[in-house]
Amino acid sequence: MRKRVVVAMSGGVDSSTTAWLLKERGYEVIGATMCIGTLDRTETAPARCCGLADIEDARRVALQLEIPFYVFHLKEEFEREIIEYFCEEYSLGRTPNPCILCNEKVKFGSFLKKALELDADYLSTGHYARLEFDERLKQYLLKKGLDRRKDQSYVLFSLDQDQLRYVLFPLGEYRKEEVRRKALEVGLRVHDKPESQEVCFIQESSYHSFLQERLGGLIEPGPIMDQKGNIFGKHKGIPFYTIGQRRGLRLAKGKPLYVIGIDRKRNALIVGEEREVYGDTFIVNTLNWINFQEVTSSLSAQVKIRYNHPGSEAVISPKEKGEVEVKFKSPQKAITPGQAAVFYDGETVLGGGWIKEVIKS
């Protein structure tokens, strides 16, 4: 019997081509899109995914491919797991990454559960990452996608073996230009559709008004100061700033100043020169190790501290309470609490966690 796979279709070229590829390979393909209650994009607003227009794009592609199509309504789950987390992290002076939580909790959580209710053997997405089954370990290995510019293994680090065993990532072996070319060759209507933006649930180009509406009175102006306590000005509210930020401070000090810290207790932004944005040591918690339970001794790995970070050599050392200390061999710019730190051994994702705090030297 043919294996049945549900493809999470966003209405974009990647997931649409994924559905076509799997059908060509002989799978019984079902298309499905999640509805999370976001507004449609407009001519003046940037492209977003998961809006009604994107659902219709996915539906038309499914019709073109002659596959069944479903809409999974996940607004409550998305509100609870992603939007509340997003707002809370900013309110605490941290910089969240909602895409990672969306993958873990929604796409490969609630969405996967609904796919399995359709008696699917697999869930497939248009992520640029690869999975390999290690016969010795009897486990799945998560690896970087072949297209290094589009590699999305970073945003998948928090998936576990119970999730990975149901997953197919066919685009991991392709480059983006190959995917677009293939979509054009087979006549997919979305072959030239623009890339969606990162924060799918915010219609505006800036997240500030979204946070203002959600957090309201929790956002208060406060002092901008240096590490010695000298006050240089006033900020609009700490949720509107992140580590390494220079623009928007409106400080006339004769030299560029950057956000080097956020003091939630004093509602203060700490600023300094560019050299002070760099650091080499930080604590990571809420860890997920993909192929083992924990680390009991120090290990060397390439560590990425944000999606577009190239990765840098570091030593990872176990601490108490299930945390680890990461020490880069060379200082890195803007190590940011709230962002994910993902650990690599070559092309293989070892695991990762969330940056809790930066250790000042």
- The catalytic position among 49, 50, 99, 102 is 102
- Residue 41 pLDDT level (bands cut at 50, 70, 90): very low
Mean pLDDT value across residues 310-325 = 96
Does residue 298 have a pLDDT over 80?
Answer: yes
Band of the pLDDT at 49, cuts 50, 70, 90?
low
Kindly tell me if the per-residue pLDDT of 204 is higher than 80. no
Spot the catalytic one: 49, 50, 87, 200: 200
pLDDT-wise least confident of 250-254, 312-316, 357-361: 250-254
The whole-number pLDDT of residue 360 equals 86
Q: What is the mean pLDDT of residues 98-113?
A: 97
Q: Does residue 200 have an active-site annotation?
A: yes
HEC-encoded secondary structure of the chain? CCCEEEEECCCCHHHHHHHHHHHHCCCEEEEEEEECCCCCCCCCCCCCCCCHHHHHHHHHHHHHHCCCEEEEECHHHHHHHHHHHHHHHHHCCCCCCHHHHHHHHHHHHHHHHHHHHCCCCEEECCCCEEEEEECCCCEEEEEECCCCCCCCHHHHCCCCHHHHCCEECHHHHCCHHHHHHHHHHCCCCCCCCCCCCCCCCCCCCCCHHHHHHHHHHHCCCEEEECCCCCEEEEECCHHHCCCCCCCCCCCCCCCCCEEEEEECCCCEEEEECHHHHEEEEEEEEEEEECCCCCCCCCEEEEEECCCCCCCEEEEEEECHHHCEEEEEEEEEECCCCCCEEEEEECCEEEEEEEEEEECCC
- What's the mean per-residue pLDDT of the chain? 93
Query: What pLDDT shows up at residue 197?
Result: 65
324 vs 158: CA distance, rounded Å: 16
Using a 10 angstrom Cβ sphere, with 0-12 exposed, 13-18 middle and 19 or more buried, the burial of residue 233 is middle
Pairing of strands 167-168, 258-263: unpaired
pLDDT at 46 over 80: no
Residue 63 has what pLDDT? 98
pLDDT at position 48: 52
* 80 pLDDT above the threshold of 80: yes
Residue from 16, 176, 169, 152 nearest 97 by CA = 152
Mean pLDDT of the 289-293 span: 93
> Is 99 one of the catalytic residues?
no
At residue 91 the predicted structure's pLDDT band, cuts being 50, 70 and 90, is very high
Better-predicted residue by pLDDT, 352 or 194: 352
The pLDDT value recorded for residue 53 is: 87
Question: pLDDT grade, residue 101 (50/70/90)?
Answer: very high
pLDDT class of 250 with cuts at 50, 70, 90? confident
Q: pLDDT for 332-343, tens place per residue?
A: 999 999 999 999
- Could you give all domains of the chain from N- to C-terminal order, each with its CATH number? 4-185 (3.40.50.620), 220-272 (2.30.30.280), 277-358 (2.40.30.10)
Question: 251 with 239: CB under 8 angstroms?
Answer: no
pLDDT value at position 305? 98
Is the CB of residue 129 less than 8 Å from the CB of residue 143? yes
